Every structure is written in structure tokens, then in C-alpha cells.
């Protein structure tokens, strides 16, 4: 017997599939999907068997090396996951080694499952935190409103049909989407199926676990995200395969859970950018689970208050059926939205916002303020000599952080001690143009010296459990004013909150990202949605500098459909996604000369491939940009890019794969392929 093995942990540009012979004592075993240890260029390496054949099919005249050891007793990866791995490596232009490493819970055998004693199992479970007992639970009584009931029935009907279907649960903030999804998941499990429930952020898994534990027992449910240890992950992987786990609640990395009889996949907050991978293979969860739903004949349910334009188009084209929840479950109604145009950008808190805040605090209610920037002050510039505080390793401006008294680069995390005088001319005549949450916190402490003010952003919540503590304290009234970045925008159901203030809803006019309006809209709707979920007369005050006025106008009047129409027509006019597909190649090197030379070589190959493809293919394909990236240096590496556009993703994928095969890779230059890119920096 011979086997085809994909070697794991190889550099991205090295061939990774090789044929090995199987020792006689292992012949006859089902090895496809098993991890093995094999000799590889005088080392021992781990790999995954992706296919097997008879000796007769062995290549002639070559002596094959032999598999040294089989790690798994039974295949770890099913046929479905192996072919998913193959699809990922093709579509996202990565190696099989990379895509299988993504799917496997761990690439080595240190965490191989051993038979457990009962006490070990108990320990393992208790480390998952408090869930509600181990007894099987079922749908308890709940009263849905008519819209919720209709949505629930439709989802249940589709799951029962056991066919590939796509639904979109589109509901305003506070409309009880989660209840509908959880109940539908419970029903699917009751009928013997399993469910994958995806959320964009770890914080949301914590939120949802509470709701889920009312319906699912510890044995039935597993929570998977990037902070779960490899050992736990491997354990959950095995329990999914064995059919013990019926529902996985998790972030991006849990999309590959090998659940048995998977008939329902939920993608909550579908529009969130965290669903797109940041490293090769740069997969998008939406696309990966669509593939899985097709293979498994499952119902795929997207959910959000603000669908992505991609999904909106699929709804308009009739590919996805929309289920609408148009009102809140409590009879609180939607919050009143007020806009204040600030003439002076340095006024952090406008008079209008100040008055509303005083009123809330006088009535012992909390206030949330939102600003999507962390740090103290932005864009240091010396007024005398023009010196700007740019990161020495990246081509971006550094941010002054007062608590650390340093300038911090938000791209590479490099810190430089603060200086009182300009390092170039020695004067202290600097000007900053922009502030972050740390600055707002300080302004608030002066305005409200007797209130408890807490900041919630990546800096203040780096300690484990800190964000949970802040949320608890805000809920209990210990914190009066919470100021934060997008961390405060999602999923929270604060009972006593009637005022949300948005410090600065402005666009970054320098950004060339065509999705920035869509993102701002989604973010503002999410933040605004925290207000008044349980009480009437709630308010959202948006401070603006006059930019983004179109978006704010539509949010103010609640005309979301108009906003989608406007945005769609812009995208269509410029043939931007979702009316076209894009592809991006980024090449990076510390050596600027080598990079430029390599860039020239790729450019030559790419232009030829694109010309050939355009002649042959049904779809046109074009290089729309080539040259330095907007962020032309990052962490000491220079960056250059190619941006492609086409009517068909497959046309781009084909060109990319051909190019990948023809590039003569250099050790000091890294090439990154990105199909349907979200990051254009
Ligand atoms: Zn100066
Ligand atoms: Zn930097």
C-alpha cells in the first residue's frame, strides 16, 4: 500500500505532498485522514494522509520512503474536512499544509486523547466555567411575538427538510434574534442533529454561553475560540466526532468543528470583519461554512441588524431568504437619535451631551460613550520644524498613550518614550490632531469628579477577565460612565441604560477602503442599539464634524433600506464588490531593492497571465492597482501590492494559482495572496 501525505509545518512556498509506502503491518488499515510521522529531508515530520492506493500505482523506478508511525487509531479528519482543506488551499491560494493546519485541532500528537477516568473528565468540564449542569435540557416554554414565531418556524422547517438552504435573520437591535436562534438550535438538537453557532468575538461567546446554558447541558455544548488550549480543543474535536457534542459555540477557528449530522450553521453578526482571516489562508467564515452547509445539506442562517452588502445582494438576488424582526421584544421602542454638529473639534463633550449626561447621572442611571480610537492623542507634529512622530518601523503615525507616557505604534506595537521637546529642533511647539478614549476619560474625570468613570478598550482590558468585570460593574451600577471603543458596541443587554453618546462619528477621508461607509453604519447602529433596550424614552446622541452626514441622516430617520440602496448604487456604478470580485497580492521584504526587483518579476508574469486569462475566459480580469501599499512599510518590512478585479472570483483564483506555480520564490521576500480582500492598507 502507498499513501499520499501532506507534510505539516512547512514554509508556505515549499511543495508539501509526497508519496510514502506503508509498512506491511499497517496495510489494510484505513489511514486516510490519519496523522502520521514520516521521514522528510533527514528529519522526522508530521503529516496527514490524504489518499491511499495499491502498490501497483506506485511511481516506477523510485524507491519510496516508508511511513514511520501512525499517530491516530482512527482517521482524525473526515472526507468532508479533507476536501474542505483542498478547497481552501485552492480558493485562497495557500498550501495544503497551511489549510490542514487550520482545520486540525493540533498538528502533533502531544494531545492525543487517552481514555479518561471519571474524575479527569469532571475536571475538564469544570474548567469550561459554569454552565447549567449535565442533564439533557429541552425547549422550555417561551412566548415569541408573531415575527419571532414566524422566523423560528421557518428555520425549523428548513432544518427538518435536511437540504442546503440559506436564511437571513434580519432584526433591529433588541428584537430577540438570539432567542430565536438558540431555540431553533435546541430544536435541531432535539431532532438528532448538531449545530454550529458562530460569533465574531470571544466576548460574545461569554455573553451567549449564559443564554445557551439555559437550553444546553455541559455535555452537549462546547465553546471554542482562540484562547482555548490545544489540549481542550483536541478533546472537543474528538467529542464532536463521537457525536457527544451537539452544539459548538465559537469564533472563526471553530468553523471546522467535525460535528456529526451537522444540519444547522449560524453566523451571528455576519457583517463583522473578524470573520475574515488575517493570515494565509485568508479564508472568510461566510464562504467556508457555505461550503460546509452545501456538503452536509444544512441550513445556513446569517443574522444581524446590519447585513453586509455581500449578503444584501444575495437577498436581493433571491439566493438567501430574509426573515425580518422589525421591532424590539420589550415595548420600549427604538431610541431617539439626535445629531449635534460640532464647530470646534476640540470640544470632546458638547453642551447638549453634557446636559443629557447630567440628567442620567442625577437619576442614577449609567451612560455609555463611544469613540473608536484608543490612546490619548494622535498625530504629533512639530509646528516649528514640521517633524512628525512616525513609527521608525512602519509608515504610520504613532499615538501618545498617557498611562504609559510613550508613543505607541498601533501596527507593530513598538513604543518610544515621550519627549517634551521636539527631537529635531528642540522646541516644544507641537500640535496633535485627534484624540482617543484615554483622552476622553481624562476630560470626563474633570467634568464629573464624583462619578465612577471606566474605560473599556484593548489597553484597559488586557488582563484576563477584566472586560467581564467591567460589564458586571456597569450592570450593577458601580460604574456610572463607561467610555470605550467598539468593545462596548456588541451584544450587551444593559437594563439601566437610556443614553449612549457617540463622541465622534466621522470618516477617515484618507482611507481608500470602499467598505468604510458600510462599516461606520454597522458600527453606529450597533452602538446605538445598546440604548434603551428595556425602557422607553431612550436616546442616542451622535456628535459629528460634518463628514459622514449621509449615513447619519439615514440612521437618524431609521431609513436603513434607503442607505442600502444608496450604497448599492455607488458600488454598482464603480463595479466594486459585491458587483465584482477582487484579489490582492502583497509582497514584503526588509530589503527594499530585492523587493522592487521581485515586484518587477511578478508584474511581468502577472500581466501575461491576466492578458491570457482575459482572452480565454468568459469574464474580464484587470489589474487595477500595482505599486507600494498605502502602508508601504510595516514592522521593518517594505510592502508592495497588486490589486485585481473581475466579474468572477474563479478567474482571479485561477490566475493566482498559475502565478503561484510560476514564481521563483526568494528567501527574503514573502508573497501573500488574498481573495476577496477586506484589508487594503
Ligand atoms: Zn521641531
Ligand atoms: Zn510600527
Q: What is residue 246's three-state secondary structure?
A: coil
CATH, domain 2-103, list 3.10.20.600, 3.40.47.10, 3.30.70.20, 3.40.1440.60: 3.40.1440.60
Of all ligands present, the nearest one to the C-alpha of 380 is 1
pLDDT (average), residues 160-182: 95
- Rounded CA-CA distance 266/290 in Å is 11
Sign of the Cα torsion 404, 407, 408, 412 reads negative
> Could you tell me the distance, in angstroms and rounded to a whole number, from the CA of residue 418 to the centre of ligand 1?
14
> Could you tell me the distance, in angstroms and rounded to a whole number, from the CA of residue 152 to the centre of ligand 2?
48
Of all ligands present, the nearest one to the C-alpha of 388 is 1
- What's domain 121-325's architecture? 3-Layer(aba) Sandwich (3.40)
pLDDT (average), residues 72-89: 96
Predicted complex ipTM: 0.98
pLDDT (average), residues 397-411: 96
* Average pLDDT of the chain, as a whole number: 91
Express each pLDDT in 135-149 by its tens digit. Answer: 556 656 778 999 999
> Could you tell me the distance, in angstroms and rounded to a whole number, from the CA of residue 425 to the centre of ligand 1?
4
Kindly list the domain boundaries of the chain, sorted by start residue. 2-103, 121-325, 336-375+435-573, 581-675
> Could you tell me the distance, in angstroms and rounded to a whole number, from the CA of residue 395 to the centre of ligand 2?
7
Of all ligands present, the nearest one to the C-alpha of 408 is 2
Of all ligands present, the nearest one to the C-alpha of 394 is 2
> Could you tell me the distance, in angstroms and rounded to a whole number, from the CA of residue 429 to the centre of ligand 1?
7
> Could you tell me the distance, in angstroms and rounded to a whole number, from the CA of residue 37 to the centre of ligand 1?
60
Of all ligands present, the nearest one to the C-alpha of 397 is 2
> Could you tell me the distance, in angstroms and rounded to a whole number, from the CA of residue 411 to the centre of ligand 1?
24
> Could you tell me the distance, in angstroms and rounded to a whole number, from the CA of residue 432 to the centre of ligand 1?
13
Of all ligands present, the nearest one to the C-alpha of 413 is 2
Query: CA distances (Å), 560 to each of 25, 271, 307, 551, in order?
Result: 66, 15, 10, 9
CATH 3.30.70.360 fits domain 581-675? yes
pLDDT confidence of residue 463: 86
Residue 665 has pLDDT above 50, yes or no: yes
- Rounded CA-CA distance 33/183 in Å is 34
pLDDT confidence of residue 111: 52
Express each pLDDT in 340-373 by its tens digit. Answer: 988 776 789 999 999 999 999 999 999 999 999 9
pLDDT (average), residues 111-129: 42
User: Contact, 521 vs 556, CB < 8 A?
Assistant: no
Residue 334 pLDDT grade (very low, low, confident, very high; cuts 50, 70, 90): confident
> Could you tell me the distance, in angstroms and rounded to a whole number, from the CA of residue 403 to the centre of ligand 1?
24
CA dihedral (256, 258, 260, 261) in degrees, to 10, reads 30
> Could you tell me the distance, in angstroms and rounded to a whole number, from the CA of residue 394 to the centre of ligand 2?
4
Of all ligands present, the nearest one to the C-alpha of 429 is 1
Residue 131 has pLDDT above 50, yes or no: no
pLDDT confidence of residue 121: 39
**Taking the CB of residue 420, how many other CB atoms lie within 10 A of it?**
6
CATH level 3 topology of 336-375+435-573: Rossmann fold (3.40.50)
> Could you tell me the distance, in angstroms and rounded to a whole number, from the CA of residue 681 to the centre of ligand 2?
14
Residues with CB under 5 A from ligand 1 (ion): 382, 384-385, 387, 422, 424-425
Express each pLDDT in 494-543 by its tens digit. Answer: 888 999 999 988 766 556 789 988 998 998 898 888 888 888 889 999 99
pLDDT (average), residues 554-581: 93
pLDDT confidence of residue 110: 58
Express each pLDDT in 6-44 by its tens digit. Answer: 999 998 888 999 999 999 998 888 999 999 999 998 999
> Could you tell me the distance, in angstroms and rounded to a whole number, from the CA of residue 589 to the centre of ligand 2?
15
> Could you tell me the distance, in angstroms and rounded to a whole number, from the CA of residue 408 to the centre of ligand 1?
19
- Rounded CA-CA distance 544/541 in Å is 10
> Could you tell me the distance, in angstroms and rounded to a whole number, from the CA of residue 430 to the centre of ligand 1?
8
DSSP letters of 447-493? H-TTS-EEEESTTTT-STTHHHHHHHHHHHTS-SEEEESGGGSSS--
Of all ligands present, the nearest one to the C-alpha of 384 is 1
Residue 286 has pLDDT above 90, yes or no: yes
> Could you tell me the distance, in angstroms and rounded to a whole number, from the CA of residue 225 to the centre of ligand 2?
27
Are 121-325 and 336-375+435-573 equal in CATH topology? yes
Residue 127 pLDDT grade (very low, low, confident, very high; cuts 50, 70, 90): very low
> Could you tell me the distance, in angstroms and rounded to a whole number, from the CA of residue 410 to the centre of ligand 2?
7
Burial class from Cβ neighbours inside 10 Å (0-12, 13-18, 19+) for residue 365 reads middle
Express each pLDDT in 223-244 by its tens digit. Answer: 999 888 989 999 999 999 999 9
More confident residue, 207 or 73: 73
More confident residue, 464 or 340: 340
Of all ligands present, the nearest one to the C-alpha of 428 is 1
Q: What is residue 25's three-state secondary structure?
A: helix
- Rounded CA-CA distance 246/264 in Å is 11
pLDDT confidence of residue 274: 93
> Could you tell me the distance, in angstroms and rounded to a whole number, from the CA of residue 389 to the centre of ligand 1?
10
Of all ligands present, the nearest one to the C-alpha of 416 is 2
Over pLDDT 90: what percentage of the chain? 74
Of all ligands present, the nearest one to the C-alpha of 395 is 2
Identify the weakest region by mean pLDDT among 200-204, 327-331, 417-421, 544-548.
Answer: 544-548
> Could you tell me the distance, in angstroms and rounded to a whole number, from the CA of residue 427 to the centre of ligand 1?
6
- Rounded CA-CA distance 342/542 in Å is 10
Of all ligands present, the nearest one to the C-alpha of 396 is 2
Host H or E run for residue 594 = helix 592-616
Of all ligands present, the nearest one to the C-alpha of 391 is 2
Of all ligands present, the nearest one to the C-alpha of 426 is 1
Amino acid at each position: 500500500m502507498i499513501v499520499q501525505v501532506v507534510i505539516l509545518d512547512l514554509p508556505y512556498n515549499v511543495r508539501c505532498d509526497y508519496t510514502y509506502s506503508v509498512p506491511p503491518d499497517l496495510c489494510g488499515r484505513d489511514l486516510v485522514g490519519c496523522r502520521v510521522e514520516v521521514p522528510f529531508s533527514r528529519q522526522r515530520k508530521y503529516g496527514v494522509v490524504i489518499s491511499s492506493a495499491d502498490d501497483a500505482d506506485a511511481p516506477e523506478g523510485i524507491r519510496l520512503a516508508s511511513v514511520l508511525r501512525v499517530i491516530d487509531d482512527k482517521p482524525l479528519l473526515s472526507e468532508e474536512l479533507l476536501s474542505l482543506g483542498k478547497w481552501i488551499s485552492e480558493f485562497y491560494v495557500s498550501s495544503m499544509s497551511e489549510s490542514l493546519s487550520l482545520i486540525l485541532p493540533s498538528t502533533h500528537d502531544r494531545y492525543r486523547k487517552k481514555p479518561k477516568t471519571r474524575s479527569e473528565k469532571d475536571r475538564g468540564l469544570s474548567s469550561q466555567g459554569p454552565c447549567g449542569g449535565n442533564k439533557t435540557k429541552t425547549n422550555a416554554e417561551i412566548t415569541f411575538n408573531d415575527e419571532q414565531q414566524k422566523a423560528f418556524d421557518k428555520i425549523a422547517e428548513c432544518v427538518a427538510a435536511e437540504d442546503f438552504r440559506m436564511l437571513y435573520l434580519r432584526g433591529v437591535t433588541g428584537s430577540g434574534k438570539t432567542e430565536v436562534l438558540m431555540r431553533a438550535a435546541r430544536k435541531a438538537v432535539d431532532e438528532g442533529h448538531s449545530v454550529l453557532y458562530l460569533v465574531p468575538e470571544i466576548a460574545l461567546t461569554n455573553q451567549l454561553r449564559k443564554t445557551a446554558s439555559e437550553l444546553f447541558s455541559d455535555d452537549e455544548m462546547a465553546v471554542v475560540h482562540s484562547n482555548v488550549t490545544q489540549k481542550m480543543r483536541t478533546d472537543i474535536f474528538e467529542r464532536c466526532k463521537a457525536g457527544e457534542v451537539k452544539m459548538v459555540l465559537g469564533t472563526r477557528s471553530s468553523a471546522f468543528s467535525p460535528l456529526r449530522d451537522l444540519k444547522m450553521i449560524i453566523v451571528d453578526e455576519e457583517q463583522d470583519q473578524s470573520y475574515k482571516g488575517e493570515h494565509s489562508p485568508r479564508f472568510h467564515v461566510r464562504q467556508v461554512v457555505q461550503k460546509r452547509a452545501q456538503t452536509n445539506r444544512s441550513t445556513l442562517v446569517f443574522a444581524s441588524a446590519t447585513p453586509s452588502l455581500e449578503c444584501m445582494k444575495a437577498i436581493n438576488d433571491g439566493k438567501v431568504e430574509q426573515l425580518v424582526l422589525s421591532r424590539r421584544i420589550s415595548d420600549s421602542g427604538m431610541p431617539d437619535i439626535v445629531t449635534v454638529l460640532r464647530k470646534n473639534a476640540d470640544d470632546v463633550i458638547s453642551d447638549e451631551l453634557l446636559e443629557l449626561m447630567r440628567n442620567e447621572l442625577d437619576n442614577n442611571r449609567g451612560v455609555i460613550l463611544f469613540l473608536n480610537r484608543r490612546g490619548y492623542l494622535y498625530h504629533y507634529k512639530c509646528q516649528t520644524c514640521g517633524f512628525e512622530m512616525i513609527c521608525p518601523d512602519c509608515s504610520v503615525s504613532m499615538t501618545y498613550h498617557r498611562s504609559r507616557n510613550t508613543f505607541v505604534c498601533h501596527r507593530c506595537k513598538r513604543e518610544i518614550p515621550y519627549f517634551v521637546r521636539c527631537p529635531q529642533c528642540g522646541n516644544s511647539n507641537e500640535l496633535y490632531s485627534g484624540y482617543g478614549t484615554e483622552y476622553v476619560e481624562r476630560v470626563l474625570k474633570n467634568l464629573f469628579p464624583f462619578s465612577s468613570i471606566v474605560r473599556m478598550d484593548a489597553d484597559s482590558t488586557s488582563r484576563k477577565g477584566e472586560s467581564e468585570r467591567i460589564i458586571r460593574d456597569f450592570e450593577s451600577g458601580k460604574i456610572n460612565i463607561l467610555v470605550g471603543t467598539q468593545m462596548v458596541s456588541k451584544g450587551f443587554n444593559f437594563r439601566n441604560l437610556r443614553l449612549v453618546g457617540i463622541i465622534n462619528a466621522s470618516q477617515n477621508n484618507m482611507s481608500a477602503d470602499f467598505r468604510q461607509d458600510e462599516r461606520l453604519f454597522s458600527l453606529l447602529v450597533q452602538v446605538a442599539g445598546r440604548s434603551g433596550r428595556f425602557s422607553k424614552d431612550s436616546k442616542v446622541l451622535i456628535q459629528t464634524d460634518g463628514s459622514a452626514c449621509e449615513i447619519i441622516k439615514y440612521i437618524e430617520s431609521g431609513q436603513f433600506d434607503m442607505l442600502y440602496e444608496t450604497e448599492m448604487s455607488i458600488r454598482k456604478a464603480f463595479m466594486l464588490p459585491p458587483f465584482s470580485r477582487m484579489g490582492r497580492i502583497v509582497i514584503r521584504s526588509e530589503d527594499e531593492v530585492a523587493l522592487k526587483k521581485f515586484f518587477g518579476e511578478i508584474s511581468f508574469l502577472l500581466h501575461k497571465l491576466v492578458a491570457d486569462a482575459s482572452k480565454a475566459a468568459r469574464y474580464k480580469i484587470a489589474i487595477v492597482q500595482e505599486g507600494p501599499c498605502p502602508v508601504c512599510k510595516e514592522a521593518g518590512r517594505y510592502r508592495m501590492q497588486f490589486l485585481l478585479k473581475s466579474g468572477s472570483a474563479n478567474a482571479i483564483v485561477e490566475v493566482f494559482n498559475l502565478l503561484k506555480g510560476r514564481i521563483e520564490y526568494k528567501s527574503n521576500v514573502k508573497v501573500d495572496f488574498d481573495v476577496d480582500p477586506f484589508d487594503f492598507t
